[in-house]
Amino acid sequence: MTKAELIEDIKRTCPAFNEKSITVAQDADSNDVTWYLASIFETGYSEENKKPTAYRRNIHFYVYKEGLAEEAAYYDRDELRNDVNRDFTGSSSLSNINKIYNSNYLKSRVQSAIIQSSYDIINESITTKDHDKRLLWAGKALSTPSIFTEIMTSFVALNATVQAAGGLATDNDLKYIVNSNIDNAISILGI
C-alpha cells in the first residue's frame, strides 16, 4: 500500500477525514521511514438508539521510502477502524454479523434473556418435554452465564430480525431467539 492508498483507506473508513490534518511527526530517519500523525473525525450511530455519534482522535502511520518505487505505507500497529459507528443494521454480511456478535449492549441483553429463560425453566412443569435436561441447562446458565451468553449471542447474530433491527431488536425478539435455541445449546454443550 502506498501513502496515497493509505489516505484513501482512511477516507473510506472515516468520511469526515480532512487530508489537511496530516502532519509529519518525524522526518525520514536512517531507515527511510517517515512517521505521520493524522487527526481523524469518526462519525456514526449508536447501537442502542441510533443517535449520531462522533469522536476525534489521532492515528499514526509510517511511510517507507516515500516517493520512490519501493514506497510502502503502514498503519501503526493495526488497520484503522471506525469505532464510533456501531450501527449494525440491515445486512447479513459477515462483517455485520461480527458487529452484532461483539456488541456489548446486545450481549448484556442476551444474558438477561438467558436469566429470564432459566427462571422460567426452573418454574416450568416437570412434565415439560426434556425438563431434566432443560433444568440442568438453566442451572448451568445461571452459574456460568458468560459461556451461555457467548453461545446464544451466536444464534442472535445470525437471526434476520436482529440483523434488520440491530440494537433496536426488542426484548421479545431476544427472548424468542434464546428460548428457540435452548435445545441447540444443550446439544452443543453436551448436557
Q: Is the pLDDT of residue 43 over 90?
A: no
Domain count for the chain:
2
Q: Are 136 and 109 in contact (CB under 8 A)?
A: no
Greater pLDDT, 53 or 61: 61
Q: Give the length of the chain.
A: 191
Greater pLDDT, 184 or 99: 184
Q: Is the pLDDT of residue 34 over 90?
A: yes
The answer to whether residues 138 and 173 belong to one domain is: yes
89 domain residue, yes or no: no
- Measure the CA–CA gap between 102 and 54, rounded to whole angstroms: 20
The answer to whether residues 70 and 24 belong to one domain is: yes
111 domain residue, yes or no: yes
Q: What is the pLDDT of residue 85?
A: 61
- Give the model confidence (pLDDT) of 161-172 as tens digits: 999 887 778 999
The answer to whether residues 98 and 185 belong to one domain is: yes
- Give the model confidence (pLDDT) of 74-124 as tens digits: 999 887 876 666 666 667 888 888 888 888 888 999 999 999 999 999 999
Total-model pTM: 0.61
DSSP state of 98: H
Cell numbers placing 81 = 477502524
The answer to whether residues 170 and 118 belong to one domain is: yes
Question: What type of residue sits at position 177?
Answer: I
Q: What is the pLDDT of residue 149?
A: 94
The answer to whether residues 106 and 30 belong to one domain is: no
- Which strands sit side by side in the sheet containing 22-26, from one edge to the other? 22-26, 33-45, 52-64, 72-75
The answer to whether residues 108 and 57 belong to one domain is: no
Mention every residue, 6+ apart, whose C-beta is less than 8 A from residue 115.
Answer: 141, 142, 145
The answer to whether residues 32 and 101 belong to one domain is: no
83 domain residue, yes or no: no
179 domain residue, yes or no: yes
The answer to whether residues 174 and 109 belong to one domain is: yes
Q: Is the pLDDT of residue 28 over 90?
A: no
Question: What type of residue sits at position 155?
Answer: F
User: What Rg, from alpha-carbon coordinates, does the chain have?
Assistant: 23
Provide, rounded to the nearest whole percent, the portion of the chain with pLDDT above 70.
Answer: 94
Q: What is the pLDDT of residue 77?
A: 87
Cell numbers placing 110 = 442476551
Determine the structural domain holding residue 64 and report its residue range.
Answer: 3-75
Alpha-helical segments (H) within the chain: 3-13, 94-101, 104-122, 131-143, 145-157, 160-165, 171-180, 182-189
121 domain residue, yes or no: yes
- Measure the CA–CA gap between 181 and 191, rounded to whole angstroms: 14
Q: Which of 75, 106, 138 is the last residue of a domain?
A: 75
